[in-house]
Chains A and B, each alone.
Chain A
Amino acid sequence: MLKTVVLHNVLMETVIRRRRSDSVKMAAGQQWVLVEMVQAFYEAPAYHLILEGILILWIIRLLFSKTYKLQERSDLTEKEKEELIEEWQPEPLVPLVPKDHPSLNYDVVTGPPSHRIIVNGKECINFASFNFLGLLDSERVKLKALSSLKKYGVGTCGPRGFYGTFDVHLELEERLAKFMRTEEAIIYSYGFATIASAIPAYSKRGDIVFVDEAACFSIQKGLQASRSFVKYFKHNDMEDLERLLKEQEIEDQKNPRKARVIRRFIVVEGLYINAADICPLPELVKLKYKYKVRIFLEESMSFGVLGEYGRGVTEHFGVNIDDIDLISANMENALASIGGFCCGRSFVIDHQRLSGQGYCFSASLPPMLASAAIEALNIMEEDPGIFRVLQDKCKHMHKALQGTPGLKTVGEPLTPALHLLLENSTGSRTNDLKLLRAIVDYSLDRQIALTLARYLDKEERFLPPPSIRVVVTVEQTQEEMEKAAQCIREAAVKILK
């Protein structure tokens, strides 16, 4: 720092003196400059020369003295470095998981996870798999998958860009777009990766995303990958969302230039997997236009469930699907295949074909799984009554579970995946989970297959309370549902006292 200041002074000095002499002899050639300088040297007062001499000496000193750097202080000798390396002891790669860890010992399903399922050797009625429309067991779907297997084999051996695009992929995309009545659809080979790739394709560092607190884990991961600024609003609380939007509006007025390039998004789920309720979409659309925010809607639980034709929450509310900028859903629940899709206007969706990481950098969906999804769509289109059946059964189950002693039923009547919560927590999550697990085990012994809703306790942004998940499918009969509700009631009475 000092060095530069001094150098600067000296330079200034020379410049000033040059200028002075320049004014005397403007037209002088190069050779005159030296003469001038010598002349100036003679003309200069003594104090000036002394000062300049000192400055020059100082510069020389600074040039040759060792530079002072912060890092230099921590410069270690080779020996010290070796000692440090010798001393350093890393933590083990992973901590040891105790043998009885609740999430280490999985329930084992032998045979297909269909309506009748064998869990840990016991044959049960399935109240746990998201096979809402029973399409997992559909002979038609299986036959279609088989004929596809015969033609294409299993794997695609490449991403979409490199000969991993099959005619069935194009067909499935077209069919999904048509089914949802949007311009374009894009498929991913993994449900989880769908919204997790879609969010960071649009929202980048510096952008703002308003997210519901109950948003599922794949949304959370997508947000993290986007490195955007994330603002959480209370679950389904539109006032809280509007408060945040207003805050942002004030912020924008302070810096309108910046505000012009900050993209903003609202990310919500159609039907929340963690909370089992529906988002207030009409209000969200109003807020969208009022505050000019785009809406991304994750519909994994509501696609093929809500609405007259199973188109999800937009149809449920009668909201124009073009008002939603992006809809994503997986094909692993109602469609009972594998993978996921996004749909919307081409202007939005097409961008993912070069920017969706899970799309570009992953092998494409095995054609037989795409064919199965196409056949599932065929069934859904041919028999739209199926959604009504499911919705009725959901309402029935919801009603049947009301008033279970010690357990609270969380979720709207239309939800096919309800949560049963402890009315009175023991105060410890581990103990709560043990109690709930005891209820699950009790039911398993009585031919009712249930499951705990699983979360990664430390990774969730807002960890949902422990719960048992009860899934309704069209295959369950009235009696079976009664039986399940009865069984849960018995278990609750017995275990929760």
Chain B
Amino acid sequence: SHSFTHSGVFFGPSNNSTDPLNGQGRKVWLHVQKNDKGDCFHQPRVRGEDSFEEAPMYVAVLTYMNYGIVILFGYFRDFLRAVGLEKCHQAQEREEQRNFVPLYQDFENFYKRNLYTRVRDNWNRPICSFPGPFFDIMERVSDDYNWTFRLTGRTIENVINMGSYNYLGFAENNVDFLKTVAEETRQYGVGVCSTRQELGNLSIHEKLERLVAEFLGVESAMAFGMGFATNSMNIPALVGKGCLILSDELNHTSLILGARLSGATIRVFKHNNMQSLEKMLKESICSGQPRTHRAWKKILIMVEGIHSMEGSLVRLPEILALKKKYKAYLYLDEAHSIGAVGPTGRGVTEHFGVDPNEVDVLMGTFTKSFGAAGGYIAGKKELVDYLRSHSHSAVYATAMSPPVVEQIIRAIKCIMGVDGTTEGQRRVRQLAENTRYLRSRLKKMGFIIYGNQDSPVVPLLLYLPGKVGAFSRAMLKRKIGIVVVGFPATPITEARARFCVSAAHTREMLDKVLQSLDELGDDIKVKFSRHRSSYRPELYDETDFELDS
């Protein structure tokens, strides 16, 4: 099989041999590999493979041709619009301001006008139910080739939801489960109308923060009202001028924005590439700050636990070793991994059997696994105390909504089992099982699937922009809602579909999805995998650091 495997370099052979189909993944997944250095935190698990199979050459050529044709057409139609043969549906600047400097540059809009508009019916599909394993999509039609949409008033009911980040199925409307949330709504209302530092610090916020810290196994935690802002408004409190941020090239926009707002120097290393990171660490420390060559004040490595588009899993043990060797700090964004991986849902640290206290800054969101909104930062008490007094969010942003707080509390309690049930743990296991099942079946069918076998984010590569729209529409016809992404969210040649596995998916749903994908994969011809065995080359072979601490 042709999958670039970059595992096993550090921990010896990975357990490729298990056939996840008949083993159903579960046994394998719970198996923690014993390491001879026996203390409890240093039992690195088998990481499992991250596969990034390369597309056949002809696909790349076709993809570029595909873009070429669309762009040519775009120019042609722009020409027609310019001479007035085609009607331009875009909103226009008002007369009074025609002599202002144009608000948009023309090339900015070219992509939107000529490429995005052709397929834009595949995004922003409005739904009118909770985003559980099924949802109801509001039917919309366009009378002007996707420039505007009209809701028909009909709904497409019971569409299988493969798009929402509902990993543990906490996006639900079960009255019994939501009892406490309803009570809080009745008592508090929905707003707070003040910031944490003024009069918006409710006792339930503090309760939530204690619970988050306990759940993660760290000293302290602070919660914020928006996941995106948790990154963008706290990173500037941690680093500043004279500091260095080493950021993974595929990091989320919120991390990039936070880094940019901090004023620190930013350098970017290749995605999940330890060699690139180490080289950068070494060179940066040796040469110091640019021009002045003064020593860096501190170095912060920023990575994500599970990448939302690649489905890859961070190489945490290696990063921790590097961080220790070079005295850098680690900022770990667990937006997609908290709750979603680890034998009891405690994220990538637990997945790797690493002490969470070894990570300097643990960040995560409540939007995904917990079915709520907001984010947290957790770690040592000094860190959180500092954020309490210096975080932009604590001073300037309205505190979290009480019902949302209660939803997170109930979800965490459920996962921890302190609600007296085993429901949370059942969901964590179910998610792991579903993930392995879907991934292995898709691979068998001949699709190119990116990412780690334990990652519930499952990208299926489509490559050609023309197939993106067709694929998504055909899936919706079969009553399956999927997410497709293309440029600029992915590299230009790597448009893909993405599935997010949920614990709420039953085997029947997954089988229906798989069957549809199988048929569609043949119809639309996106089974690109050639399964030639090969290993990811040279990048990961030379490391000169040791893994233990």
Residues on A lying within 8 angstroms of B by beta carbon are: 74, 76, 81, 84-85, 88-97, 101, 103-104, 106-114, 117, 119, 126, 128-131, 135-138, 141-142, 145-146, 149-158, 160-167, 169-170, 189-193, 202, 216-218, 221, 224-225, 259-264, 289, 292-294, 322, 325, 330, 332-333, 335-338, 345-348, 350-351, 353-354, 357-358, 360-363, 365-366, 368-369, 372, 449, 451-456, 459, 469
Q: Select one of A104, A111, A149 contacting B388, CB under 8 A.
A: A104
Interface residues in B205-250 by Cβ distance below 8 A to A read 206, 225-229, 232-233, 236-238
Using Cβ atoms and an 8 Å threshold, which residues of chain A touch B80? none
A366 to B103, CA, bound (A): 32
Using Cβ atoms and an 8 Å threshold, which residues of chain B touch A164? 131, 164
A138 to B189, CA, bound (A): 8
Query: In chain B, what residue has the closest Cβ to A224?
Result: B261
Q: Select one of B125, B170, B198 contacting A165, CB under 8 A.
A: B125
Interface residues in B390-420 by Cβ distance below 8 A to A read 390, 392-398, 401-404, 407
Contacts known (A153-B171, A155-B171, A158-B164); A104 close to B199, Cβ less than 8 A: no
Using Cβ atoms and an 8 Å threshold, which residues of chain B touch A335? 191
Contacts known (A154-B373, A369-B401); A103 close to B389, Cβ less than 8 A: yes
| Residue pair A157, B129 in contact (C-beta under 8 Å) | no
Q: Select one of A76, A150, A366, A469 contacting B198, CB under 8 A.
A: A469
Query: In chain B, what residue has the closest Cβ to A373?
Result: B190
Q: Which of B65-73, B281-289, B432-440, B522-530 contacts A (4 or more CB under 8 A)?
A: B281-289
Other 18 A-B pairs with CB < 8 A, given A91-B298, A154-B407: A93-B300, A94-B383, A97-B386, A104-B388, A104-B389, A142-B189, A152-B173, A161-B123, A164-B164, A166-B126, A167-B127, A192-B392, A261-B105, A292-B97, A345-B91, A351-B103, A363-B368, A369-B404
A162 to B200, CA, bound (A): 32
| Residue pair B189, A114 in contact (C-beta under 8 Å) | yes
Using Cβ atoms and an 8 Å threshold, which residues of chain A touch B116? 354
Using Cβ atoms and an 8 Å threshold, which residues of chain B touch A360? 253
Min Cβ gap B9→A in Å is 22
Min Cβ gap B295→A in Å is 6
| Residue pair A113, B199 in contact (C-beta under 8 Å) | yes
Q: 6 shortest A-B CB distances, which residue pairs?
A: A94-B386, A190-B226, A362-B228, A363-B367, A106-B201, A157-B164
Contacts known (A192-B397, A363-B367); A103 close to B128, Cβ less than 8 A: no
Using Cβ atoms and an 8 Å threshold, which residues of chain B touch A114? 189
| Residue pair A333, B203 in contact (C-beta under 8 Å) | no
Contacts known (A107-B201, A109-B201, A129-B194); A358 close to B228, Cβ less than 8 A: yes
| Residue pair A136, B191 in contact (C-beta under 8 Å) | yes
| Residue pair B226, A109 in contact (C-beta under 8 Å) | no
A243 to B166, CA, bound (A): 54
| Residue pair A90, B297 in contact (C-beta under 8 Å) | yes
Using Cβ atoms and an 8 Å threshold, which residues of chain B touch A454? 195, 197-198, 395
A218 to B195, CA, bound (A): 13
| Residue pair B178, A191 in contact (C-beta under 8 Å) | no
| Residue pair B172, A153 in contact (C-beta under 8 Å) | yes
Using Cβ atoms and an 8 Å threshold, which residues of chain B touch A126? 199
A320 to B236, CA, bound (A): 39
Residues on B lying within 8 angstroms of A by beta carbon are: 91-94, 96-97, 99-105, 112, 116, 123-132, 135, 138, 161, 163-166, 170-173, 175, 178, 181-182, 185-203, 206, 225-229, 232-233, 236-238, 252-254, 257, 260-261, 282, 285-287, 295-300, 325-329, 360-361, 365-368, 370-373, 382-383, 385-390, 392-398, 401-404, 407, 481, 483
A26 to B143, CA, bound (A): 69
Q: Select one of B127, B229, B286, B300 contacting A190, CB under 8 A.
A: B229
18 contacting pairs across A/B (C-beta < 8 A): A81-B286, A85-B325, A103-B197, A108-B206, A109-B200, A113-B200, A149-B181, A150-B175, A150-B178, A155-B366, A156-B367, A166-B128, A190-B228, A292-B99, A338-B398, A358-B229, A363-B368, A454-B197
Q: Select one of A141, A167, A221 contacting B138, CB under 8 A.
A: A167
| Residue pair A192, B229 in contact (C-beta under 8 Å) | yes
Q: Select one of B191, B229, B257, B367 contacting A336, CB under 8 A.
A: B191
Min Cβ gap A344→B in Å is 11
Min Cβ gap B523→A in Å is 24
| Residue pair A136, B193 in contact (C-beta under 8 Å) | yes
Using Cβ atoms and an 8 Å threshold, which residues of chain A touch B101? 259-264, 292
Using Cβ atoms and an 8 Å threshold, which residues of chain B touch A107? 199, 201
Using Cβ atoms and an 8 Å threshold, which residues of chain A touch B395? 103, 217, 454-456
A158 to B287, CA, bound (A): 42
Q: Select one of B189, B227, B373, B393 contacting A141, CB under 8 A.
A: B189
Min Cβ gap A73→B in Å is 12
